Amino acid sequence: MSLSLYQVSVVPFIAELKIVSKLLTKGLEHVKGDESALIDARIIEDMQPLTYQIQRISDTAKGLAVRMGKVEPVAMADEEKTFAELQERVAKTIAVLESVDPKSFEGIEDKEVILVTRSGEQTFTGLSYVNTFAIPNFYFHMCMVYAILRKEGVPVGKMDYLGKN
């Protein structure tokens, strides 16, 4: 049996977004509702805060759905200031991914994907976009969420990151 790009991207992204939601819940419980203690937390001064990391996870997942899954773009302003708003964004992103038809990923390994970023335009094949941009970028920002929470003393561990708790 061969795996499809849908199975190696959309399916785990949905599962991981659910884990992100649980991590946020544990973070909020740890600060006993004082969101200001975490919402702008970062590992080091020149790094983007927790809110930014969640927004990039969301944007990476939505971008995959649009570029590869033929889903209409869903705009989400990067204005979240509370954990409830971050949770809402995560839930909306899951809904976008759940709307993707697995068949839309069939035969798109060689499709040209153009990604416009602040550093310029990048061209990928469908396969290289999923494997060398979408997946690594998603997990990079997810790791940053975990690391920021750990730095701030939130009692999460590897099993939380893996979704086993």
CATH topology of domain 5-161: Four Helix Bundle (Hemerythrin (Met), subunit A) (1.20.120)
What number of residues does the chain have? 165
Helix (H, G, I), strand (E, B) or coil at 122: strand
The pTM assigned to this predicted structure is: 0.95
How far is the C-alpha of 113 from the C-alpha of 5, rounded, in Å? Answer: 14
With residue 21 as reference, give the H or E element that holds it.
Answer: helix 5-30
Digit-coded pLDDT (tens) for 34-78: 898 899 999 999 999 999 999 999 999 999 999 999 999 999 999
**Residues 82-122: tens digit of each pLDDT:** 999 999 999 999 999 999 999 999 999 999 999 998 899 99
Q: Which tokens in the block code for residue 28?
A: 């909020």
Q: Which amino acid is at 67?
A: R
